[in-house]
Amino acid sequence: ELARQGSGSNFCRPEPCLPISVSIIKRNTREWAHKAHSRYWALKTEGRQSKIWIAQPQWNVTKYLLSLSRNKLRILVSLSTGHCRLTGHLHKIRLTQSPICGACSIEAESAFHFLCVCPSLATLRTRLMDKPILNASEFSQIPASAILNFATSSGRFGFNP
């Protein structure tokens, strides 16, 4: 009854009264959420390893990740957090005696070492990511699809090259 009375009354000031379309409300809400998420990510101090990968949230990357199979997504998430089947992490959780990379024997095999600097993977890295060695800023520009392709082609994550 109250709603009927309200809809039947005349609108008073400011005129003209124009409705806001649902698409504009959705777009503005999406933009607000993206800005809030970006601000939160920039101010967050945790996630050192993940921040090497993800400078800021990007919708196209999110869309790509959501399209992946569970196993492929697991590979990317485990590499981005550093909780993966590389000897550096396995040593931290006491599953191996040494954190040293078995392929090059130069340093601990972290996700960064595996993806960016391991000399034994330089040829594969050059073929798939156009450079034999990457620094953190160069790495953050590499598409997630190329990173996944590199990780799976290496044969280290249950996929054969």
Whole-number pLDDT of residue 49: 77
25-34 contacts at long range (C-beta below 8 A, 24 or more positions apart): 34/59
Please state, in angstroms and rounded to a whole number, the distance separating the CA atoms of residues 124 and 118.
11
Q: According to the model, what pLDDT value does residue 141 have?
A: 86
Question: From the first residue on, what is the mean pLDDT of each consecutive set of 10 residues in the chain (161 residues)?
Answer: 71 67 92 93 85 81 93 93 91 94 94 94 95 89 93 82 45
pLDDT of res. 157: 84
Q: What is the pLDDT of residue 161?
A: 45
* pLDDT for residue 55: 78
pLDDT attached to residue 11: 64
